Amino acid sequence: MMGIGEIRLLIWVSSILYLAGFSLGFNPVDNYLINCGSPSNLSVGGRVFVADNSASQILSTPKNIFASTNSNSIDLPLYQTARILDGISQYTFPISKPGRHWIRLYFFPFVYTNYNMSMANFSVSAQDFVLLSNFQLQKDSMVKEYSVNITSNKLVLSFTPSDSSSFAFVNALEVVSVPDEIITDDAQTINPLGGYQGLWKQALETVFRVNMGGPTISPSNDTLGRTWVPDQDFLLNKNLAKSVSNIAAVTYVSGGPTPDIAPPSVYGTAVEMNSANVPNSNFNVTWNFDVNPGFQYLIRLHFCDIVSSSLNQLYFNVYINTWSVALNLDLSIQQINTLGAPYYMDFVTGLSDSSKLRVSIGPSITITSVSPNAILNGLEVMKMNNSRGSLDGVASITLISQPSSKKSVGVIVGVVLGVFIAVVLAVVLFLICRRRQMARHQHLKTWAPFSMNGGNSLSMGSKYSYGTTINTASNLGYRFPFAAMQDATNNFEESWVVGVGGFGKVYKGVLKDGTKVAVKRGNPQSQQGLAEFRTEIEMLSHFRHRHLVSLIGYCDERNEMILVYEYMENGTLKNHLYGSELPSLSWKERLDICIGSARGLHYLHTGSTKAIIHRDVKSANILLDENLMAKVADFGLSKTGPEIDQTHVSTAVKGSFGYLDPEYYRRQQLTEKSDVYSFGVVLFEVICARPVINPSLPREMVNLAEWAMKWQKIGQLENIIDPNLAGKIRPDSLRKFAETAEKCLADYGVDRPSMGDVLWNLEYALQLQEAVIQDDPEVNSTNQIGELSPLVNNADYVETSVTAAQLEMSSLDDLSAVSVSRVFSQLVKAEGR
């Protein structure tokens, strides 16, 4: 088995070789190209489609009919022959390596003896998926491209005529391995923005694959034999768009998309805003696509900044239909600050109810720049199979696999049979669901929820030496002059302070271009060393994730230690839970926030070869952006993160009182499981909406973790949940959530789940709330928790003093001894400061 590092190295080496002109390409393990109905091999763009007779042992069909035409109006020689499949026919392809495979079907109808292929009417299925249902093609050629994760050692491709008078045909077909990295398991949902898992089990049909601003890319110019078409026909308003090409600017970087994701000819051309035609530069460039309603779509957006002359010049927004899916997107920070580094994002739409899909790009509204612009380099739209496993129509495979040949059978018999089948199906479905539920739990163990795109997770190779020197400036955030910092914060105006921490003060600021930022100014007298300041800059520059607050820049002029972060419009999660006038968050919003922060922490724990331990997970360190999307702040260094926390935190505290892992101070050993513990406390805080330590409450209620666990252990957590949530949480969702929190608080780290498990369970809790899990009798009963009479509310304050034991705990916090193997040792504060 190869380690991640080696794989990355390989990718890196192959991209270097690629750039040097040795196009290695991808060498598919399974590679069946068949020139159906033809006795001879045919080379098309360097790929050999083999003669059908040599492949015939893989086909079972009632009659062997080889059709051919010598019409010379046919553009592709592949189309001059076809297999007529008169009766149910099956191609069986041995699969040497399970995983995703392309299935490409080539059709061109012509007339052969008494077979008029324009009249053919048939269905095609592969594995358990319906690819085509009652398909008919009158004229013109068509290539259908699918990708299916084949899970067994063979692929059966079935052609089933729609009725006894009909037949099927095919001119050529391909079954070819797809590299694993092409379709990863997860993506983002767009409304609301959130995580999506489970792409591995989706059959996908490529409905559009577009090369923005460039020409058609034919299969021979693409390492995976794909076709990319120009975008002109899809543009809503051609005047607003301008094509640009700069293929030389494309720089594939290690850990980022490879040429297999999309070739340089796709990343090297783009459509940008045509501001010359439209002086008022606030407009969108929009493409429209026709889609089938009733399906979900996977949309992959390809970006590569080939238009900017330097980093951080281009900020733009991306919309799918009316939803904004990326705001103020800055491509230069997505891939180790390399201009011209390819980048892509995957989004899964909801069930479309419209037959139009719209993708738009427009300039950032909040970040103004000298020449506002927006770009898009490529776009793929892939249809996802529906809940019946079909990509075409509503019939499931069981319904199409038998052609309706017995038309004479009476209607009544049909109805009776139908009812019988429905009953049997219901029973079978119920059993399948049961099994699937169990399977889902097993799946959990191997599931690796990763970032929205293959290229987002950066490796921390040994090439970076943290805590020593700042590497070349190009690798890091933007370096601000001190004057710019003074301007941004109104000369560090006291009234602009939004938080105070051990490190210094955090100010709200506005950059010249209007960007809102959070400016953290290190106190020169603070215990915060210069080395840690540098470490944090390097850390934050290299760990970028949607759910981690990101660093915009820094300032080290005049011995200052200033860090500039993105401004999080909605402040801390804590503020939204209690102690403020803010409106109460809904259960779904709370779940989304928990899922987002779990994702950020999971990335810290697993995103590099060495786990990064946050050490100060708490609701005050989970920040919310304008869309209430959660981002974890203050990571890696509990003492240097943006302390946007109103409560005073003693400089000696490492980790926060009320969230501390008991095992951490018992054994003085720090692992990721300490973060899991603290996160469990946050989960209880989210559902109970009260401070984790409230000394004014009766003694047994002071500590939220203890109090909540007491109720959870007797299965009555609902008695102490936030009254605002009463009656609004589905019991299953509450149960799953509470169980997850309980497991996080296990006494021993080994008994606690990993952050990945926590993430999965929270997503499951969200699904249970939304009841998207179909045919689950338990969930479909929609009885909700009735009105509750909460035992705890703010009126219940009782004066009590904190016990001595509890006070002592705060002095135990400052523990620096750690398990070296699990911690990135440079991050750990030096002893004795």
Active-site residue set:
616
- What is the C-alpha separation between 284 and 265, in angstroms, rounded? 24
List the one residue from 197, 296, 575, 740 that touches ligand NAG (CB under 6 A): 296
CA separation, residue 828 to residues 304, 424, 650 (Å):
37, 61, 18
For the CB of residue 732, give the shortest distance to ligand NAG in the complex, in Å.
Answer: 19
Q: Is 108 in the site for ligand NAG (CB under 6 A)?
A: no
Could you say which of 206, 385, 674, 761 contacts ligand NAG (CB under 6 A)?
385
Tell me: does residue 322 bind ligand NAG (CB under 6 A): yes
Instruction: Output 372 or 501, the one with its CB closest to ligand NAG.
Output: 372
- The count of residues interacting with ligand NAG (CB under 6 A) is 44
Q: Please tell me the distance from the alpha carbon of residue 225 to that of residue 48, in angstroms, as a whole number.
A: 12
Look at strands 241-245 and 269-273 and give their pairing: antiparallel
Task: Report yes or no: 497 and 506 within 8 Å, Cβ to Cβ.
Answer: yes
Q: Binding of ligand NAG at residue 54 (CB under 6 A)?
A: yes
Q: With binding defined as CB under 6 A, does residue 158 bind ligand NAG?
A: no
Q: Does 354 bind ligand NAG (CB under 6 A)?
A: no
Whichever of 360 and 640 has its CB closer to ligand NAG, that residue is 360
Residue ranges of alpha helices (H) inside 578-655 are 587-606
For ligand NAG, the closer CB: 60 or 220: 220
Angle between helices 672-688 and 755-770 (to 10 degrees): 30
Q: Which of 6, 180, 290, 626 binds ligand NAG (CB under 6 A)?
A: 180
Neighbour tally for 12: CB within 10 Å: 18
Among 337, 340, 373, CA closest to 553: 337
Among positions 43, 68, 96, 118, the unique one binding ligand NAG when judged by CB under 6 A: 118
Q: What is the largest CA-CA distance in the chain?
A: 97
Q: How many CB atoms lie under 10 A from the CB of residue 281?
A: 16
SS3 content of the chain, % helix, strand, coil (to 5): 30, 25, 45
The yes or no reply on residue 652 touching ligand NAG (CB under 6 A) is: no
Q: How many helices (H) and strands (E) does the chain have?
A: 16, 38
| 775 forms part of the interface with ligand NAG (CB under 6 A) | no
* 497 interacts with ligand NAG by CB under 6 A: no
The residue within the footprint of ligand NAG, chosen from 163, 589, 625, 775 (CB under 6 A), is 163
Annotated binding-site residue? 356: no
CA 362/CA 316 separation, integer angstroms: 6
| Helix H or strand E encompassing 406 | none
Beta carbons within 8 Å of 365's beta carbon, 6+ residues apart: 282, 317
- Helix/strand/coil for 248: helix
Shorter beta-carbon distance to ligand NAG: residue 257 or 502: 257
CA pair distance 399, 134, nearest whole angstrom: 12
Task: Choose which of 285, 327, 384, 729 interacts with ligand NAG (CB under 6 A).
Answer: 384
Member of 47, 201, 710, 743 binding ligand NAG (CB under 6 A): 201
Is residue 738 a contact partner of residue 712, using CB atoms and an 8 Å limit?
Answer: yes
Q: Which 8-state DSSP code applies to residue 753? A: P
Is 50 a binding residue for ligand NAG by CB under 6 A? The answer is yes
**How many residues are present in the chain?**
833
Give CA separation, 215 vs 94, 114, 265, 360, in Å: 36, 40, 9, 20
Judged by beta carbon, residue 86 or residue 663, the one nearer ligand NAG is 86
> Contact at 8 Å (CB) between 389 and 203?
yes
Q: How far is the CB of 400 from ligand NAG (least distance, A)?
A: 10
Residue 372 makes contact with ligand NAG by CB under 6 A: no
Site string for ligand NAG, 82-101 (x = CB under 6 A): -----------------xx-
Which residues from 392-431 bind ligand NAG, rule CB under 6 A? Answer: 404
Contacts of ligand NAG in 788-827 (CB under 6 A): none
Quick one: 136 or 475, whose CB is closer to ligand NAG?
Answer: 136
DSSP secondary structure letter of residue 339: T
Which of 57, 72, 114, 138 is in the footprint of ligand NAG by CB under 6 A?
138
Residue type, position 726, single letter: A
Identify which of residues 402 and 474 has a Cβ nearer to ligand NAG in the complex.
Answer: 402
DSSP per residue, 131-145: EEEEE---SS-EEEE
Is 116 near ligand NAG (CB under 6 A)? yes
| Complex with ligand NAG: residue 282 or 647, whichever CB lies closer | 282
Given 34, 36, 44, 51, the residue binding ligand NAG (CB under 6 A): 51
Question: Considering the rule CB under 6 A, would residue 362 count as an interface residue with ligand NAG?
Answer: yes
Q: Which helix (H) or strand (E) holds 649?
A: none
Tell me whether residue 149 or residue 456 sits nearer to ligand NAG (CB atom): 149
CA distance between the termini of the chain: 43
Which residues between 269 and 288 bind ligand NAG (CB under 6 A)? 282-284
Are 693 and 702 in contact, with CB atoms under 8 Å apart?
yes
Does the footprint of ligand NAG cover residue 448 (CB under 6 A)?
A: no
Q: How many CB atoms lie within 10 A of CB 458?
A: 23
**Binding range to ligand NAG, per CB under 6 A, among 81-89, 199-207, 270-278, 630-638:** 199-207
| Known binding-site positions | 520
Q: Which residues bind ligand NAG (CB under 6 A)?
A: 40-41, 48, 50-51, 54, 99-100, 111, 116, 118-119, 121, 128, 134, 136, 138, 149, 151, 162-163, 180, 200-202, 215, 217, 220-221, 265, 282-284, 296, 319, 322, 360, 362, 384-387, 389, 404
